[in-house]
């Protein structure tokens, strides 16, 4: 018997539109295969929707703050309903770039150097600190956004203009800029699913490059790297997945520069849109979109 699946999508993060797209595409695929589906916003109606619909599993299609940072996971734990992707703690850790990077460093996973900037530091002192610790250009980004929202590559001239645009965030991360190739690695449970390379036409793989079809980012699969390098990056992705305590599907973002991989971050809820990378990697490995979703639901139902 096909199960009742409640799909959570939308939300209030800056990734709302991507979440709606993910939710709709997952819903359409499940409906076509005989599942009973209800789509719900994570709002004041959520409790009523859960009680009335009585879902067997919640498919969490939310992205960004309140969706993949442990917040909605905490609420779903109260209802004692299985939900997809990672749990409360792993979601929270992965979303916090400072904590996750400290865990990567502790576990000898190569990641760009960084420090946390709060607005008390004077401009002259910040520039001095960057020159000593990182060197220009640098990457400036919020600690807890996804999809490269509000991420900037900065030189001395545009540094403070970009920092000032992030004043709604209490703290921001200033990170070493790593050039080179954009490599993404997907993990499916304990399985090393595969790798894809991205060649954005823009400066880097930012929000526009990810979700605007006009940005024309080139997706390359198979990736032109020696087998031992591909194995190396997959091992790094699986190690990150395990040490953070992730479940289900994750996608890790790497830069490959001068023979070294640098892990930028791990995504506990990768997108499921027509431009999304995990479905593309899965398809290359012979796993259809429906088979991928079905596996995610089955994995969710196993969790205690």
205 is catalytic: no
Give yes or no: 15 in active site.
Answer: yes
**Nearest residue to 148 via CA among 215, 239, 102:** 215
Please answer whether residues 71 and 8 qualify as being in contact, where contact means their C-beta atoms are separated by less than 8 angstroms. Answer: no
Q: Which of 253, 262, 280, 299 is catalytic?
A: 253
Selecting among 251, 276, 280, 299, the annotated active-site residue is: 251
Q: Catalytic residue at 265? A: yes
Active-site option among 60, 91, 147, 252? 147
| Token couple for 288 | 């259809």
- Is residue 74 annotated as part of the catalytic site, yes or no? no
Question: Which among 29, 69, 175, 265 is annotated as catalytic?
Answer: 265
Do 205 and 198 touch, CB atoms closer than 8 A? yes
Catalytic residue among 205, 211, 256, 262: 211
> In 3D, which of 20, 107, 17, 114 has the Cα closest to residue 61?
20
Catalytic residue among 13, 169, 271, 276: 271
Three-state SS string across 37-95, please? EEEECCCCCHHHHHHHHCCCEEEECCCCCCCCCCHHHHHHHHHCCCECCCCHHHHHHHH
Q: Of 103, 185, 172, give the one whose Cα is nearest residue 142.
A: 172
**Is 87 an active-site residue?**
no
| Active-site residue, from 100, 162, 267, 276 | 267
Q: Any catalytic annotation for residue 267?
A: yes
Among this protein's residues, is 60 annotated catalytic? Answer: no
Catalytic residue among 15, 145, 175, 197: 15
Catalytic residues: 15, 147, 211, 251, 253, 265, 267, 271
């Amino acid at each position: 018997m096909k199960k009742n699946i409640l799909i959570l999508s939308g939300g209030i993060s800056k990734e709302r539109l991507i979440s709606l797209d993910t939710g709709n595409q997952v819903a359409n695929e499940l409906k076509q295969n005989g599942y009973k589906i209800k789509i719900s916003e994570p709002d004041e109606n959520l409790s009523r929707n859960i009680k009335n619909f009585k879902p067997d599993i919640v498919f969490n299609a939310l992205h960004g703050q309140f969706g993949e940072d442990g917040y909605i996971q905490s609420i779903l734990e109260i209802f004692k309903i299985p939900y997809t992707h990672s749990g409360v703690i792993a979601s929270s850790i992965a979303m916090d770039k400072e904590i996750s990077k400290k865990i990567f460093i502790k576990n000898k996973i190569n990641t760009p150097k960084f420090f946390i900037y709060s607005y008390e530091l004077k401009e002259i002192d910040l520039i001095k600190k960057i020159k000593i610790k990182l060197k220009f250009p640098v990457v400036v980004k919020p600690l807890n956004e996804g999809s490269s929202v509000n991420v900037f590559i900065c030189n001395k001239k545009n540094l403070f203009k970009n920092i000032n645009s992030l004043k709604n965030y209490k703290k921001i991360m200033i990170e070493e800029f790593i050039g080179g190739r954009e490599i993404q690695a997907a993990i499916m449970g304990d399985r090393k699913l595969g790798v894809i390379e991205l060649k954005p036409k823009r400066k880097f793989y930012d929000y526009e490059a990810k979700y605007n079809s006009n940005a024309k980012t080139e997706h390359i699969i198979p990736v032109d790297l020696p087998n031992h390098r591909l194995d190396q990056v997959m091992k790094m992705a699986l190690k990150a997945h395990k040490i953070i305590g992730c479940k289900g599907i994750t996608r890790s973002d790497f830069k490959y520069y001068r023979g070294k991989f640098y892990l930028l971050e791990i995504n506990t809820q990768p997108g499921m849109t027509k431009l999304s990378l995990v479905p593309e990697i899965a398809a290359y490995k012979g796993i259809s979109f429906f088979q991928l979703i079905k596996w995610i639901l089955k994995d969710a139902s196993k969790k205690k």
